[in-house]
């Protein structure tokens, strides 16, 4: 985006629909035509459009893809062998193949042994169909549990020993960023809390400017907000942001643009594609932010350097850290992400390597191949799993890899942050749309040319939500069989040895990732950043207890979401709130009442048939009965702040907050004060 480019020389225009998608020109913009004129004197809201194309290809569909693959396999059997075109394999691909083979072997062997133990412990049923159904459900669920454990185990290895085959931020330290490495930082937003969004964005812009590379970065706020009043607040906040950045004349500042779409199609993916078609040809790379993202300038500049150092990289995803909210719920999620979630991130990096996945934000993308290969066609058909792609990120990563580009996760790069939903109901609200998007992506699992790792990730994404109704079915079937008299442990007899071993194995698979996460912190001598060893252990106990209490609620909610997605009921697409306001008892009760009603009805039925069986419902029923007070009490900031003051659930970003986060909080507090009535 050179300032002397001929397309930049045009008469100064007021705010127009062609530039912003808005319907009117706010006075504040028309009064400030010379703001930041050192770089774009002829641009007020956005640079001149430089059109490019982003084509889409229709999907073949699941059954058509399977048929095509079958015909291709048949052709290879009956036709003379033809030499495959030679392709130079990257150095990491052999290592990735070995790791994936080990991953699959451990998973299959462990799940098979566990399933055999479970089958041997089964009592006699009136029908073998009940027996086979129980075994089949256990086989699927045990495989799912083992994959999570093996991923965490691999992450534990990487955390302690590192990974020579992955890309590293350390490798580009001291490298200069090429002057022509033009990068757009884009933030799609839709009906967000304006003060919070622009506070984080201002801190990010200031941090980029402090690196000395401001002239290589432009920032775009891409609004899909439908409400005119909220859009006016966004425009005012954008103007204030530009004025605030202009208060530092001693150093160049990044240019910040704002565009509001009139045709708000295909949600976030459509907004990003619209940017690419308008201005993508002006940039080598784009860093995609979410509305709750905050990134340090050093992190963003290092991402651009990594792109320069790895010319085959199409997407480089950062390992984001959850920060921001002070509610007890959000702080528990932040703690879990920092201690245990990091193992899963590193584990996925270990076996995915250059065929990693993309989370849709806090990542850098090479614009030219993204425009050429990642256009998203809608899925043909009817119902909830058809139409425009919802969870676009996994699909875009798969298309980038299919085109021959590498997709990397870089885990040793600090300075990438995002917020967690402030309360349990906001988390479930987010999960509802993620559920439908992930189930929709599973329809693309057989598309020709998709890398097997991304096929696996489509399956993993769907299973993240399908596991809930499977667990519910497994537990319901077990309770029904118990009521029917088919008991694994008959009254008065000791539990069979196979069952004891199986219980111990299941407990290890579920709990060892948390233990490994804690062990890694102690082995790396990082416990002081969590408030000390004792504080770390008690925080882990609290987070584990909260997770156990919330697990049945999530199980029932995700089961409902799966049913809604598969039946094609209308999905209300809303972003979770960016500000924590605390749940009211009445609101929480109205939304959690169905779960409590189900538990009470089931308990009544069981008590009528066999009162002694109520004991089996306690692990699930008690948390569901406590769902209302648990959701309300963990949603209030005051509770979370008191816990933080007492040293509970501390994470390093709270013990010693990075400067960019302190600046974001500073700007957010100032904005909140400005909005208070006098």
The answer to whether residue 6 scores a pLDDT higher than 50 is: no
Q: Please state, in angstroms and rounded to a whole number, the distance separating the CA atoms of residues 563 and 250.
A: 58
Any domain includes 102: yes
Q: Is the model's pLDDT at 3 over the cut of 50?
A: no
Lowest mean pLDDT among 252-256, 350-354, 603-607: 603-607
What confidence category does residue 495 fall into, taking pLDDT thresholds of 50, 70 and 90? low
Residue whose tokens read 């770089």: 39
Please tell me the predicted confidence (pLDDT) of residue 1: 41
- For the beta sheet containing 285-288, the strands, ordered from the edge strand earlier in sequence to the opposite edge, are 255-260, 217-223, 183-189, 285-288, 363-366, 313-318, 406-410
- Position 40 pLDDT exceeds 90: no
Please check the confidence at residue 604 and state whether its pLDDT lies above 90.
no
Share of the chain residues as helix, strand and coil, in percent rounded to the nearest 5 = 60, 10, 35
What number of other Cβ atoms are within 10 A of residue 115's Cβ? 19
* Measured torsion, CA atoms of residues 88, 399, 346, 515, in degrees rounded to the nearest 10: -140
- Looking at residue 144, its pLDDT comes to 95
Taking 80 as the threshold, does the pLDDT of residue 461 lie above it?
yes
Q: Classify residue 308: in a domain, yes or no.
A: yes
CB 275 within 8 A of CB 184: yes
The pLDDT, as a whole number, for residue 35 is 39
Q: Is the pLDDT of residue 34 over 50?
A: no
Query: Residue 215: inside a domain, yes or no?
Result: no
Indicate whether 21 belongs to any domain. Answer: no
Q: Tell me if 370 sits within 8 A of 119, measured CB to CB.
A: no
CA–CA gap between residue 493 and residue 43 (Å, rounded)? 82
How many CB atoms are closer than 10 A to CB 627? 26
Q: What is the mean pLDDT of residues 1-24?
A: 36
Sheet holding 294-295, edge to edge: 294-295, 416-418, 321-322
Q: What's the pLDDT score for residue 485?
A: 61
Mean pLDDT along residues 461-485: 84
Which of 208, 204, 212, 162 has its CA nearest to residue 187? 204
Distances (CA, A) of 417 to 190, 236, 293, 330, 344: 19, 25, 6, 14, 17
Please check whether residue 497 lies inside any domain of the structure.
yes
- Name the band, by pLDDT with cuts 50, 70 and 90, for residue 174: confident
Per-residue model confidence (pLDDT) at position 490: 55
- Give the span between the Cα atoms of 204 and 294, in whole angstroms: 6
Q: Beta strand pairing status for 363-366 and 313-318?
A: antiparallel
pLDDT at 73: 77
Per the prediction, the chain carries an average pLDDT of 84
The pLDDT value recorded for residue 573 is 45
Angle at 298 between CA 293 and CA 299, to 5 degrees: 45
What is the pLDDT at residue 518? 95
The confidence score (pLDDT) of residue 520 equals 94
**Is residue 554 classed exposed, middle or buried when 0-12, 13-18 and 19+ CB atoms within 10 A define those classes?**
middle
The average pLDDT across 363-390 equals 92
Domain of 430, in residue numbers: 60-65+92-167+293-582+635-678
Average pLDDT over residues 523-552: 94
pLDDT in tens, 79-135: 766 665 656 777 899 999 999 999 999 999 999 999 998 888 777 766 778 788 889
CB-based contacts of 158, cutoff 8 Å, min separation 6:
346, 347, 349, 350, 411
Please answer whether residues 468 and 559 qualify as being in contact, where contact means their C-beta atoms are separated by less than 8 angstroms. Answer: yes
pTM for the model stands at: 0.87
The pLDDT value given to residue 306 = 96
Instruction: Give residue 190's pLDDT.
Output: 93
Of 209-213, 308-312, 371-375, 571-575, least confident by mean pLDDT is: 571-575
Report, as an integer, the average pLDDT of 354-360: 92
What is the pLDDT confidence band of residue 13, given thresholds at 50, 70 and 90? very low
- Residue 41: its pLDDT value, please? 33
Confidence of residue 659 (pLDDT cuts 50, 70, 90): very high
pLDDT value at position 289?
96
* pLDDT at residue 356 in the model: 94
Across the range 646-670, mean pLDDT stands at 91
322 SS3 class: strand
Query: Span 573-602, mean pLDDT?
Result: 71
* Cβ proximity of 624 and 596 under 8 Å: yes
Q: Which residues contact 506 (CB under 8 A, 6 or more apart)?
A: 114, 142, 145
pLDDT digits (tens, 9 = 90+) for 607-649: 776 676 666 677 777 888 888 889 999 998 899 899 999 999 9
Q: Give the model confidence (pLDDT) of 207-248 as tens digits.
A: 999 999 999 999 999 999 999 999 999 999 999 999 999 887
Per-residue pLDDT of 497-523, as tens digits, reads 767 788 888 888 889 999 999 999 999
CA-to-CA distance for 525 and 546, rounded, in angstroms? 26
In a domain, 201, yes or no: no
- The pLDDT value recorded for residue 616 is 67
> What total of structural domains would you count in the chain?
1
Residue 337 has what DSSP assignment? I
What does the alpha-carbon distance between residue 661 and residue 415 come to, in Å, rounded to a whole number? 9
CA angle 167, 169, 171 (to 5 degrees): 75
Residues whose CB is less than 8 angstroms from the CB of residue 134 and which lie 6 or more positions away in sequence, other chains included? 118, 122, 474, 477, 478, 481
At 9, the pLDDT band (50, 70, 90 cuts) reads very low
**pLDDT surpassing 80 at residue 489:** no
pLDDT of residue 82: 62
Give the model's pLDDT for residue 95. Answer: 93
CB of 313 within 8 A of CB of 307?
yes
DSSP 56: B
Average pLDDT over residues 412-434: 91
CA 182 from chain center: how many Å?
27
3-state secondary structure 519-556: HHHHHCCCHHHHCCHHHHHHHHHHHHHHHHHHHHHHHH
> What pLDDT score was predicted for residue 10?
32
Residue 278 within any structural domain of the chain: no
Assigned domain for 78 exists: no
pLDDT at residue 581 greater than cutoff 70: no
| Per-residue tokens: 104 | 């699959």
Predicted confidence at residue 618, as pLDDT, reads 74
pLDDT digits (tens, 9 = 90+) for 310-335: 999 999 999 999 887 889 999 999 99
pLDDT of 150:
95
Note the pLDDT of residue 626: 85
pLDDT, one tens digit per residue, over 62-85 is 888 888 888 877 877 787 666 656
């Amino acid at each position: 985006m050179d300032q002397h480019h001929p397309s930049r020389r045009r008469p100064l225009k007021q705010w127009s629909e062609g530039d912003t998608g808005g319907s009117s020109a706010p006075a504040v913009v028309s009064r400030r035509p010379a703001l930041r004129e050192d770089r774009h004197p002829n641009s007020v809201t956005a640079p001149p459009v430089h059109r490019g194309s982003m084509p889409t290809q229709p999907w073949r569909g699941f059954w058509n893809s399977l048929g095509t693959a079958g015909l291709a396999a048949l052709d290879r059997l009956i036709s003379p062998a033809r030499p495959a075109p030679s392709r130079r394999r990257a150095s990491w691909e052999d290592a990735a193949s070995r790791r994936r083979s080990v991953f699959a072997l451990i998973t299959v062997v462990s799940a098979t042994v566990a399933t055999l133990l479970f089958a041997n412990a089964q009592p006699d049923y009136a029908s073998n169909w009940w027996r086979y159904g129980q075994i089949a459900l256990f086989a699927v669920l045990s495989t799912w549990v083992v994959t999570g454990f093996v991923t965490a185990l691999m992450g534990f290895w990487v955390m302690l020993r590192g990974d020579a085959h992955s890309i590293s931020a350390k490798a580009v330290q001291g490298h200069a960023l090429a002057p022509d490495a033009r990068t757009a930082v884009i933030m799609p937003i839709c009906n967000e809390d304006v003060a919070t969004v622009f506070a984080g964005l201002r801190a990010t812009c200031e941090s980029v400017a402090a690196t000395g590379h401001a002239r290589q970065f432009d920032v775009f706020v891409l609004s899909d907000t439908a409400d005119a009043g909220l859009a006016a607040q966004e425009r005012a906040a954008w103007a204030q942001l530009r004025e605030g950045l202009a208060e530092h004349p001693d150093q160049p500042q990044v240019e910040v643009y704002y565009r509001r779409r009139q045709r708000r199609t295909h949600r976030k993916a459509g907004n990003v594609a619209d940017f690419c078609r308008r201005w993508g040809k002006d940039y080598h790379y784009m860093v995609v932010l979410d509305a709750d993202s905050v990134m340090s300038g050093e992190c963003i500049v290092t991402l651009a350097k990594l792109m320069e150092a790895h010319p085959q990289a199409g997407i480089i995803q950062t390992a984001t850290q959850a920060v921001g909210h002070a509610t007890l719920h959000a702080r528990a999620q932040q703690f879990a992400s920092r201690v245990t979630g990091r193992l899963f991130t590193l584990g996925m990096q270990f076996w995915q390597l250059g065929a990693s996945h993309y989370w849709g934000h806090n990542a850098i993308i090479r614009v030219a191949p993204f425009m050429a290969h990642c256009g998203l066609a809608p899925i043909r058909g009817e119902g909830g799993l058809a139409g425009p792609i919802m969870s676009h990120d996994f699909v875009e990563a798969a298309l980038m890899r299919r085109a021959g580009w590498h997709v990397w996760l870089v885990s040793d790069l600090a300075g990438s942050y995002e917020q967690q939903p402030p309360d349990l109901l906001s988390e479930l609200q987010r999960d509802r749309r993620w559920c439908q998007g992930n189930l929709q992506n599973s329809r693309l699992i057989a598309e020709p040319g998709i890398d097997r790792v991304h096929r696996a990730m489509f399956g993993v994404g769907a299973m993240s939500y399908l596991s809930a109704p499977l667990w519910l079915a497994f537990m319901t079937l077990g309770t029904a069989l118990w009521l029917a008299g088919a008991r694994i442990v008959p009254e008065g007899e000791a539990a069979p040895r196979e069952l004891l071993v199986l219980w111990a194995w299941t407990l290890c698979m579920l709990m060892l990732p948390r233990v490994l996460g804690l062990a890694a912190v102690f082995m790396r001598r990082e416990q002081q950043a969590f408030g000390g060893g004792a504080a770390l252990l008690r925080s882990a106990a609290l987070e584990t207890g909260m997770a156990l209490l919330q697990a049945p609620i999530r199980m029932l909610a995700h089961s409902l979401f799966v049913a809604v997605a598969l039946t094609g009921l209308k999905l209300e697409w809303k972003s979770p709130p960016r500000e924590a306001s605390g749940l009211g008892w009445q609101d929480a009760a109205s939304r959690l009442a169905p779960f409590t009603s189900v538990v009470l009805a089931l308990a009544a039925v069981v008590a009528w048939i066999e009162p002694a069986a109520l004991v089996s419902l306690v692990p699930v029923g008690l948390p569901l009965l406590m769902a209302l007070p648990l959701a309300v009490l963990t949603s209030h900031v005051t509770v979370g702040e008191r816990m933080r003051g007492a040293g509970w659930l501390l994470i390093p970003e709270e013990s010693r907050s990075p400067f960019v986060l302190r600046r974001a909080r500073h700007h957010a507090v100032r904005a909140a004060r400005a909005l208070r009535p006098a």
